[in-house]
Structure 1
């Protein structure tokens, strides 16, 4: 064991890690920076792990081994390890992951150059053991905190950070790291990203990330909710304002003398997209709206891609040719599943990347942390106090203008057009108002203002119904409608193709259960609005940071060095 206090303390917790732990330990010992201690905490392994780590410890005096007498789980093992740490800087690694040879040297060098930084975190490579594929993971700005874990798998921090936070919460197994970073963030410590690939993160079937996936997702959502509650309570700088739709961090006009553009499906006469445009205009009042036919991005300082249900194959090609213009993607929705690796590449390059529903996240194959909600929830429509169930609003699709037009026979058992639907609905309501949502005569607010029931084949018809708090039937024309109804707890009120009998039954059921429906809609609106406001604030901060990087020569230099300093890494 080292007789002097080392500069860096690495903690390596391990439980039954015989398959990969040799590589993990070797990657620590092979660092170009050598003044460190490696504290291995064996959490009562039952395989060959103890023999493997003891063999390494006999060969290298920098290794210290602690063996738990019983299995204590990861957060407790981390606390046990760091309680013995003597280094000025702390980090930890997993038994199945691998450091790049210069990882410690690079992170220490960054902390020395930027002494106000308390925590540095780095890009890494995700290696899928099943497919043999590896892809780069570019970490996000720290303002992403609260939407997901921006720190990732490779980091280093000053020892006083751990001491101030009092370690990892031992009751939060599987999300102890994210909780730790949330508390560090709320306590005002400074995070800085280092955009160099310094770590290999292994994805395999035995990892905690895979075996506890659903538990991790549920607990992460809970942590996010608690984090926003802390922010809203004013314990740190408030990122949400319940009484105000404006972002708490406005775009700094001095940072962009040219233009911020919002690129979307504005050339259409889609009322839903116009609603999104109106919402975005409130948050980005100086932005220029350009439609998807324009690909001349060079004249803008920053481009936001955000226009609701953009067809993914229509979005990807022009962005593949995008010059070096900073961009972000906000509130996108995938119409139909077009799996495309380019979407994941765009997510990695974007300053921010938010999709509006689970379906879009799944079909684009991006990380679940990119999940958001429809942008219109940032400033939802006022709730109808007492819905009049005699008045219904039927939202249909125009076959002359839209490619996705319902085969009515699949839904109501007879062939026809929207007038056939209207006739059928007249048997359940004394008044049926209809619209194809492509009108320019009025906005969504006016269309749904006096209705007590909505039947919609359009996504934003359902969004409007949820925000208004009126019972709704979703015509399951495309997956995003089904996804929205499911997320709001209303999937049982979705009319699916081939189920021609239940329309009237569903309407009567929804009328009977309207109080329960309104309760679910209200809860969904509250959750969605909170998340979207937080995401928009994060986006504004990212735009400001991007502008700052463009105008600050030191930051430009640091970014250039980072881009030129990527390591070539592979697994044998």
Structure 2
């Protein structure tokens, strides 16, 4: 049974999936399984994953019965996960080789239900874009409501500490998950070390700030059920931080 289960939804990423998987295969920490839940891709994505899995059985393909979006694909991977720890890696992003080793050591030292790391952005051609995106040392539930610091590809959840892990089928389902963990009273811990590469594509959520803002507002009001004034207060802080982060690109 693997100690770390890596959760990866995929859909039509034949250009990037092999490189993403390769960044897992070279991890200095080896006790992992990679669960790739393919959301009915129409390109060669599932075939590429299956070919890699035939060579390394730690790479496991899960085929979704119908296209339902990343939240449902992530949940399918979580439902099949064996590991105590859940790490999240989207299908076009990359990890540096020591990501799991360093973050696991950090998470154990902090006894962190949820931890996250610094990262850098890259474009579709793997060109570095912008400076290191640094992270705060700690985030509580109330602080995370106003913050954009936990990037999906940097998150690590210790299920023995966090309690149940379930995705919410909303835009920014990852943000919903982090909030659900911290709402229980946990503190998220940040490792300010450059360990990941977040790929920005023309079709990515980060390229659509208006849609992103609508999703966050919906989470405040309809998922977290915050009062209107608190929602507005948190949204103002979140918007300012999101703007500053985009300027770093």
Q: TM class by shorter-chain length?
A: 0.7 to 0.9
1:205 is paired with a residue whose SS is: coil
**Which residue of structure 2 lines up, in the alignment, with residue 126 of structure 1?**
121
Are the aligned partners of 2:10 and 2:39 in contact in 1 as well (CA < 8 Å)? yes
2:189 is paired with a residue whose SS is: strand
C-alpha change, 1:228 and 1:126, in structure 2 (3 Å) is farther
How many pairs are equivalent? 237
1:194 is paired with a residue whose SS is: strand
Structure 1 moving runs of 4+ over 4 Å: 225-228
Q: After superposition, what is the alpha-carbon deviation per residue over 1:227-279, rounded to whole angstroms, capped at 9, x for unaligned?
A: 4827x99xxxxxx9xxxxxxxxxxxxxxxxxxxxxxxxxxxxxxxxxxxxxxx
Q: After superposition, what is the alpha-carbon deviation per residue over 1:517-542, rounded to whole angstroms, capped at 9, x for unaligned?
A: xxxxxxxxxxxxxxxxxxxxxxxxxx
**Which residue of structure 2 lines up, in the alignment, with residue 169 of structure 1?**
168
C-alpha change, 1:161 and 1:17, in structure 2 (3 Å) is farther
**Which residue of structure 1 lines up, in the alignment, with residue 175 of structure 2?**
178
Deviation at 1:51, TM superposition (A): 1.5
The answer to whether structure 1 residue 87 and structure 2 residue 83 are counterparts is yes
Which of these residues, 108, 112, 115, is aligned with residue 112 of structure 1?
108
**Which residue of structure 1 lines up, in the alignment, with residue 150 of structure 2?**
151
Which of these residues, 189, 198, 212, is aligned with residue 192 of structure 1?
189
Deviation at 1:113, TM superposition (A): 1.7
Which of these residues, 194, 199, 213, is aligned with residue 217 of structure 1?
213
Give distance in 1, aligned partners of 2:42 and 2:203: 15
Deviation at 1:70, TM superposition (A): 1.4
1:65 is paired with a residue whose SS is: strand
C-alpha change, 1:145 and 1:368, in structure 2 (3 Å) is farther
1:50 is paired with a residue whose SS is: helix
The RMSD of aligned alpha carbons is 3.0
Deviation at 1:149, TM superposition (A): 2.9
Q: After superposition, what is the alpha-carbon deviation per residue over 1:120-179, rounded to whole angstroms, capped at 9, x for unaligned?
A: 1100011234894342111234143111332223021112466524x0112x0x310111
Q: After superposition, what is the alpha-carbon deviation per residue over 1:451-481, rounded to whole angstroms, capped at 9, x for unaligned?
A: xxxxxxxxxxxxxxxxxxxxxxxxxxxxxxx
Structure 2 unaligned regions, length at least 5: none
Q: Report 1:24-43 matches (<5 A).
A: 24-43=20-39
The answer to whether structure 1 residue 367 and structure 2 residue 238 are counterparts is no
Give distance in 1, aligned partners of 2:202 and 2:184: 35
Between 1 and 2, higher relative CO (CA 8 Å, sep ≥ 6) is seen in 2
Give distance in 1, aligned partners of 2:156 and 2:40: 27
Which of these residues, 101, 114, 119, is aligned with residue 97 of structure 2?
101
Deviation at 1:17, TM superposition (A): 0.6
Q: Report 1:527-566 matches (<5 A).
A: none
Give distance in 2, aligned partners of 1:119 and 1:131: 28
Give distance in 2, aligned partners of 1:183 and 1:157: 12
1:111 is paired with a residue whose SS is: helix
More strand by share: 2
1:145 is paired with a residue whose SS is: helix
TM norm structure 1: 0.38
Are the aligned partners of 1:11 and 1:91 in contact in 2 as well (CA < 8 Å)? yes
The answer to whether structure 1 residue 57 and structure 2 residue 53 are counterparts is yes
TM norm structure 2: 0.84
